[in-house]
Chains A and B, each alone.
Chain A
Amino acid sequence: MSRIKATFAALAAQKRTALIPFVTAGDPTAVITVPLMHTLVKAGADVIELGVPFSDPMADGPVIQRASERALKNGVGLINVLAYVSQFRETNTITPVVLMGYANPIERMGLAIFAARAKAAGVDGVLVVDYPPEESVEVLKALDAVGIDSIYLLSPTSTAQRIKLVAQSARGYIYYVSLKGVTGAANIDTEAVSEMIKQIKAETSLPVGVGFGIRDGATAKLVAAFADAVVIGSRIIQELEASPPEAALVNVEKLVSDIRHAMDA
């Protein structure tokens, strides 16, 4: 059983919702990423979404964009990200790691090479924002071939037809973008989100996670009532931005474990 499947199965048995923090690899420094991943696990992360820096992160808001720019300044690209996952796997073989980013660095490396290297590094899932199902038939094949889950997005603007299409291609879990906008935008309308999750669940047996616009424990708890996973990204990156380097890990640990406790309460 894949790590993602095993994780969601175990959580479902405990009637708990997955907490999925997102951080950009190489931000704010190159050396922090692996310790940061371990910190996230310690604070209660069930899956880690690791952002692959890209020069033109079109779907991200200013917070994640700044993180991407800092990481690129630190010289961190896809090859480094894969190395971080390998290092993380030296001591953690349980927590699923999902790479999240944009198509071009993967295209540049080459699909087959990327799939093989990601598998060897211990990557469990890949979410590429600008690879919709229509344009990623080959990608899906390449990742299926090595047993890496292709994670796809759905959004408030997704039509019934697109929900069906995504449900067919999706592996691992589906990431529901809770609002029209970029990452880190305003607060979400939990009622509308819960309605949409129902529609998605009618088309798939995969877990559905919700992200974009979840900034605190209270919102995470509301979302956890109907979603299988809660994704938190920009809020964590802001914590990293605001923390002095020596306090970064401690502050992120507190932030994430507070959210974890609110969800479990």
Chain B
Amino acid sequence: MQMYDLPYNLPDASGHFGPYGGVFVAETLQAALQELNLEYERAKADPEFMAEFQRELKHYVGRPSPIYHAKRLSDELGGAQIYLKREDLNHTGAHKINNTIGQALLARRMGKPRIIAETGAGQHGVASATVAARYGLECVVYMGSEDIKRQAQNVYRMKLLGATVVPVDSGSKTLKDALNEAMRDWVTHVENTFYIIGTVAGPHPYPMLVRDFNSVVGKECLWQMPEMIGQQPDAVLACVGGGSNAMGIFFDYIPHQKVRLIGCEAGGEGIETGRHAASLSAGTPGILHGNRTYLIQNADGQIIDTHSVSAGLDYPGVGPEHAWLKDAGRAEYVAVNDDEALAAFHRLCRTEGIIPALESSHAVAHAMKMAPMMAKDKVLLVNLSGRGDKDMATVAERSGLQFYCRPSCQANQNL
């Protein structure tokens, strides 16, 4: 049963996707969010603003990003053809830059000289620091002290780009706490500061505007796929933490009802162990960070610690539009465990010469599960949302510096 209207036009005027989304924030931020909403509507209708956004995407980010047929991987699996949307080839190495450019242009338009951001894996922090440098804005990035340890390289990158990185020691010392801290900063400096949220979560209008800026990914796929193979894919897969890369590639496919949309959450050590970050697969609805959505929480309504091998998926909530797409039956959500994601990471490295981010590896892993059960003329499009350079230390540690070689070079390695 189709529970949503076409043309699809959510969120509604008050920022709701069915029962999800909304503006659940303290009074102090209400005016700022209304101002942002108003200014975003104006910017969207301003051809000059949109033209500048497009120019930046083309000349600064390097868009459109290509779609690549992972033929060797597909052949090995012996089923559906796997195509990769190469967001890893963007400037700064992930999809995050699309949204940060859009928001930084908004900040400049609104005359805010200071931007703040929260970051988990550091990708959004790097993307924010990058655009801050590009547009001459002051930049403060909040990052959980636990994540700072896991992602030392990205911390250094942000500092090189001129940003101040503030360690957050409260709570679980990860992404959700960084978000709390960024909100506190925003409440205190609301006149001169623009808060660049890194995912399709937070209070309205953030889930909408982050989605819109990032939807360039799916828009490109819509013309690239027919150009390349004469058809749209049978399914589009993307990893889901907060869910910005997934919303980016899903959004324009929503009206294309024959295309399955599959979000891959972090199953961590397995849903049954409780050590995961799969809010849609194993969570319950609640209110966090300004919106109603699926959350990982206990019976008392406290948010509980999540776990994923990839810092970027390690978040106890998820964008409200995903919650709605799940309930409406338009998108499916599955959990992919750490080990499966790591295996996919290694396999993509050695079969295609592409080192994916651990986040994106979750989507690759699920495509690898699906492909063998499908006919060879079926097509899976995977959003390869980022590159894996940042994950070298994690992977090395997890695999005990073991390298997975092709049989032909196995002999050499044993020497």
A interface, CB within 8 angstroms of B: 53-59, 61-62, 65, 69, 72, 77-79, 102-109, 129-132, 134-135, 152-159, 162, 166, 177, 180-182, 185
Contacts and interface: CB of A to CB of B under 8 A. Distances in A.
Interface in B114-132: none
A105 B284 CA distance: 12
Interface of B: 14, 22-32, 170-171, 176-177, 180, 183-184, 187-191, 284-290, 292, 295, 297, 299-304
Contact of B171 (A56, A129, A134): A56
A58 B182 CA distance: 9
Contact of A56 (B22, B25, B187, B289): B289
Contacts of A131: 24
A104 B26 contact: no
A79 B303 CA distance: 16
A55 to B, nearest CB: 4
A155 B28 contact: yes
B302 A77 contact: yes
B25 A132 contact: yes
B183 A58 contact: yes
B27 A152 contact: yes
Contacts of B287: 102-104, 107, 130
A77 to B, nearest CB: 4
Contacts of B25: 58, 130, 132
Nearest to A103: B287
Contacts of A78: 300-301
B180 A56 contact: yes
Given A55-B304, A104-B295, A180-B191, 7 more contacts: A56-B180, A56-B303, A77-B301, A105-B300, A155-B27, A159-B31, A181-B28
A218 to B, nearest CB: 24
Nearest to A54: B302
A180 B122 CA distance: 28
27 contacts: A54-B301, A55-B303, A56-B303, A59-B184, A69-B170, A72-B302, A78-B300, A79-B300, A105-B300, A106-B301, A108-B297, A108-B299, A130-B26, A132-B24, A132-B25, A134-B22, A135-B24, A152-B27, A153-B27, A155-B26, A156-B28, A157-B29, A157-B32, A177-B26, A180-B28, A181-B28, A182-B188
Contacts of B171: 55-56, 69
Contacts, number: 125
A158 B31 CA distance: 6
Contacts of B285: 107
A197 B27 CA distance: 15
B282 to A, nearest CB: 15
A115 B27 CA distance: 23
A156 B187 CA distance: 11
> Which 4 A-B pairs rank lowest in CB-CB distance, beginning with the nearest?
A108-B301, A105-B301, A77-B300, A181-B188
B286 A104 contact: yes
Contacts of A56: 171, 176-177, 180, 288-289, 303
A108 B31 contact: no
A46 B121 CA distance: 48
Contacts of B191: 180
Nearest to B203: A130
A111 to B, nearest CB: 12
Given A54-B302, A69-B171, A72-B302, A103 B27 contact: no
A192 B314 CA distance: 42
